[in-house]
Chain A
Amino acid sequence: QVHLVESGGGVVQPGRSLRLSCAASGFAFSNSAIHWVRQAPGKGLEWVAATSHGGSKEYYADSVKGRFTIARDDSKDTLYLQMISLRGEDTAVYYCARDVSTIPDHYYGMDVWGQGTTVTVSS
C-alpha cells in the first residue's frame, strides 16, 4: 500500500525551529515529486514547498521562502521540511503529498497524502 506518514510536529515558541519528516512506503519515492501543503485551523489549503524527482529542484511559497527548506533522502524514502524563525501564522497541520506525475519536474496534482502533523507556534 502507498503511504506517507508525517512526524515531527509540536508546540514551539516563535522564532524557534522545527524539522518535519515524511516517511514514504509502497512506491518509488526517488521517482516522485513531493509537496508540503499546510492548513491553518479552520482555513483552506496552502501550498508550502515542493521537491522534484531526485531533489534537483525546489520550489517555495513566498510566505516561507528563506525560512523553510525542503529536502529529501532517497536512501531512506524520507522527505523533510526544516523550518526556522517560526511565526504564529505558521501554525497549521502540515501534510506531505506525492505528485501524480511520473515525468521529471512536471507537477500535475497531489494524489497521495499523509495524515498530517500539527505545528503550533505559540509562546
Chain B
Amino acid sequence: EIVLTQSPATLSLSPGERATLSCRVSQSISYYLAWYQQKPGQAPRLLIYDTSSRATGIPARFSGSGSGTDFTLTISSLEPEDFAVYYCQQRANWPITFGPGTRVDIK
C-alpha cells in the first residue's frame, strides 16, 4: 500500500498570505495525485487532480505541482473560506490512499 505523508500537520496563516502544503509519497506515483479540501461538517471537495489540473469551479489561487514522490498544493493568497483541512490522495496503485491531512487555520 502506498503511504502518503502530509506536512505540516497544521499551518497557521493570515488571510492574504500564501499557503504551501506538502505531500510526500512512499513510492513514485508519476503525476497521479489529487488534492481535496474539507470543512467541518461537510463532504470533501476535489480541488486538483493529476497533480495540477484544477477541478471544475476551483479558483485559480489553488495550484498543484510535483511529480514522483513530492507534491505541493499552493494557495496563492488565502481567502477566509480557505481555512479548512486539505488531503492528498494517490491513484497510481490500488488501494487508493489518502494522506492524513493538513489543517490550515487562522493565525
- Residue pair B43, A111 in contact (C-beta under 8 Å): no
Instruction: State A95–B101 Cα separation when bound (angstroms).
Output: 17
Instruction: State A17–B98 Cα separation when bound (angstroms).
Output: 26
Query: Smallest Cβ distance from A56 to chain B, in angstroms?
Result: 15
Residues of B within 8 A of A37 (CB): 44
Of A44, A47, A62, A100, the contact of B55 (CB 8 Å cutoff):
A100
Of B1, B44, B56, B94, the contact of A45 (CB 8 Å cutoff):
B44
The answer, yes or no, to whether A46 is at the interface (CB within 8 Å) is yes
- Residue pair B46, A110 in contact (C-beta under 8 Å): yes
The answer, yes or no, to whether A114 is at the interface (CB within 8 Å) is yes
Residues of A within 8 A of B94 (CB): 59
Residues of A within 8 A of B74 (CB): none
> Chain A at the B interface: mostly helix, strand, loop or mixed?
strand
Of A47, A60, A107, the contact of B98 (CB 8 Å cutoff):
A47
**Given contact pairs A44-B100, A100-B49, A109 touches B91 in the complex (Cβ within 8 A):** yes
For residues 87 through 123 of chain A, which have their beta carbon under 8 Å from a beta carbon of chain B? Answer: 95, 97, 100, 107-111, 113-116
Q: Among B34, B43, B53, B91, which residue has the most Cβ atoms of chain A within 10 A?
A: B43
- Residue pair A50, B101 in contact (C-beta under 8 Å): no
Instruction: State A97–B55 Cα separation when bound (angstroms).
Output: 14
Of A47, A108, A111, the contact of B50 (CB 8 Å cutoff):
A108
Interface residues of A (CB under 8 A from B): 35, 37, 44-47, 50, 59-62, 95, 97, 100, 107-111, 113-116
Interface residues of B (CB under 8 A from A): 1, 34, 36, 38, 43-46, 48-50, 53, 55-56, 87, 89, 91, 94-101
Known contacts A45-B98, A109-B36; 18 additional CB pairs below 8 A are A37-B44, A46-B98, A47-B89, A47-B95, A47-B98, A59-B94, A61-B95, A62-B1, A97-B44, A107-B91, A108-B50, A109-B34, A109-B46, A109-B55, A110-B44, A111-B55, A113-B44, A114-B43
